Amino acid sequence: MGRLSATRFLFDDGRTWSVSEICFQPAWRQLEALNSGRLTSVQLLNLHIDRFQRINRSINAVIKTDIERARERANALDLMRSEGKILGPLHGLPMTVKETFDVESMPASAGAPQFAKRAKPVPDASKYR
């Protein structure tokens, strides 16, 4: 993948996608870009973060982020991919976690104000993967 401008990306097949178009491609197409090497996990994550930062203020879809940890994880996933280690079929695909799941240092209010300050009763849900 080559960069055409601040808002468009050129892919090997000659197609160009804008940031919005990449972010709204189905998961299989984003994974295709990752698996073919046209995008890295870090690049794809940053495209999603850029879009999120532009629109979240108006829609308030995400109440808390840990962008630093997401970037660290994306870097680690890119390194693993370069070593031929793939964790599973969604390896490197950015995602959000609904605040109904317990995640270390993140709120789990289920969208209900009465749960906004609740103490987490269980460990981080990722420990049960």
* pLDDT of the chain, 129 residues: tens digit per residue: 444 445 676 666 777 777 678 888 889 989 988 998 888 999 999 999 998 998 988 988 887 888 999 999 999 999 999 999 999 999 999 988 777 777 777 777 777 777 777 666 556 555 555
Do residues 53 and 101 share a domain? no
Do residues 70 and 114 share a domain? no
Do residues 66 and 103 share a domain? no
Burial 6-42 (b: 16+ CB within 10 A, else e): eeebebeeeeebebeebbeeeeeebbebbeeebbbbb
Do residues 46 and 81 share a domain? yes
C-beta of residue 62 within 8 angstroms of C-beta of residue 56: yes
Do residues 92 and 108 share a domain? no
Do residues 92 and 122 share a domain? no
Do residues 89 and 101 share a domain? no
pTM (predicted TM-score): 0.75
Domain that holds residue 115: 97-129
Do residues 15 and 66 share a domain? yes
